[in-house]
Amino acid sequence: MFQKSIAFMALSLALSYSSHAAAKHKLLFFTKSSGYEHEVISYKKGQPSFAEKIFLEFGAKESWDFVFSKDGSKFSPEYLAGFDAVIFYTTGDLTTEGTDKQPAMSPAGKQALLDYVKGGKGFIGLHSASDTFHTANESKKGQDRFQNHGKVADPYICLLGGEFIMHGTQQVATNTVIDKKFPGFENLNDTFAFSEEWYSLKDFNPDIHVLTVIDAPKMEGPAYQRPAYPSTWAREEGKGRVFYTAMGHRNDVWTNPTFQSILIGAIHWATRDVDAEIPPNLTKSAPGAMTNPTYVAPKPAAVPAAPAPAAK
């Protein structure tokens, strides 16, 4: 039955977007990790990452030309002008070399990205894209990470529409689909659930159009002791289109038909193959979303016991 459902969803996707198959798009998949580098986007012996292999499969079917890069120094108005949309799977302050030692993005490069989207292009953030350019360097702090900043949040966070706080133990969680008219959501069930590293998020831009809401109260761990909140959304930034989903940590999520349907639909929307109505709906779909989990100070490190005196 599961194999049949996958086949049906794949066929539905093909039929839904067959009229757009001729649309050739060039897409940048940017995966610099100035913070933690996720396994799904890491290179092994010079081979494409697991996520890149999935995108290559998408590209062959959808006439998409992907460019894969971890080099932040390339970001400029001229460089970005060559892409119809940019996809981020990143961590940390990308203006620093950081963990992966790949070239950093300049402050001007960051501004070029913001201007690129505002000028009318597409931006898709996956999973740890919300763990990127933290407001006031909050990734290095404690209680401050649990505060909302609104309009004074980092410009990148304002563009994305939300910011990562923390995550708990990987577990199965239920997500409710809010808008089944949005591209990629047409054939999904009313709810879906699978095991994932689910992010607890904050500082939602009030203009986001929520697409999925995660049932946090039924999850385990202090990261989720809060009301239900968005896990996927879309919004407009100037003339541009922005999409984010917190999913994408695990390899098996990347092969999951629900995630693939959502991701393919997002790319079609971000590149303007299809349109969708995206009115703000945060207060209606997740009225308690701005209530963050309570900060719990870490326990002090245990003091090693003094060695026992030597026997005489």
Alpha helices in 143-289, H assignment, sequence order: 155-160, 251-254, 257-270, 282-285
What's the predicted TM-score (pTM) here?
A: 0.90
Contact in structure between 191 and 176 (CB atoms under 8 Å): yes
**Cα 129 to Cα 266: distance, rounded to the nearest angstrom:** 15
CATH number at 2-285: 3.40.50.880
Residue 8 has pLDDT above 90, yes or no: no
Token digits of residue 58? 């998408």
* pLDDT higher than threshold 60 for residue 10: no
Residue 304 reports pLDDT greater than 90 = no
Distance, in Å, from the CA atom of 118 to the CA atom of 93, rounded to the nearest integer, reads: 21
Which pLDDT belongs to residue 311? 63
Q: Which residue has the higher pLDDT, 46 or 93?
A: 93
Which position has the higher pLDDT, 11 or 294?
A: 294
Task: Please give the pLDDT value at position 140.
Answer: 79
The 10s digit of each residue's pLDDT in 206-261 is 999 999 999 999 999 999 999 999 999 999 999 999 999 999 999 999 999 999 99
pLDDT for 232 equals 98
pLDDT at 12 over 70: no
Q: How do 25-30 and 209-214 pair as beta strands?
A: unpaired
Q: What is the pLDDT of residue 14?
A: 43
Confidence bin at 22 (pLDDT 50/70/90): very low
CA 113 and chain centroid, separation: 16
Rounded Cα gap, residues 131 and 199, in angstroms: 9
Question: Two tokens at 170?
Answer: 């990987």
Q: Which residue has the higher pLDDT, 115 or 4?
A: 115
Q: Which pLDDT band holds residue 42 (cuts at 50, 70, 90)?
A: very high
> Nearest-5° angle of CA 101, CA 52, CA 140?
40
Residue 275 has pLDDT above 80, yes or no: yes
Q: Tokens in use for 150?
A: 């609104």
Tens of pLDDT, residues 89-136: 999 999 999 999 999 999 999 999 999 999 999 999 999 999 999 999
Question: pLDDT tens digits, residue range 71-81?
Answer: 999 999 999 99
pLDDT of residue 6: 39
62 pLDDT above the threshold of 90: yes
Interval 125-184: pLDDT, tens? 999 999 999 999 887 778 889 999 999 999 999 999 999 999 999 999 999 999 999 999
Let me know: does 197 contact 170? Beta carbons within 8 Å.
Answer: yes
**pLDDT above 80 (res 305):** no
Strands 64-69 and 25-30: parallel
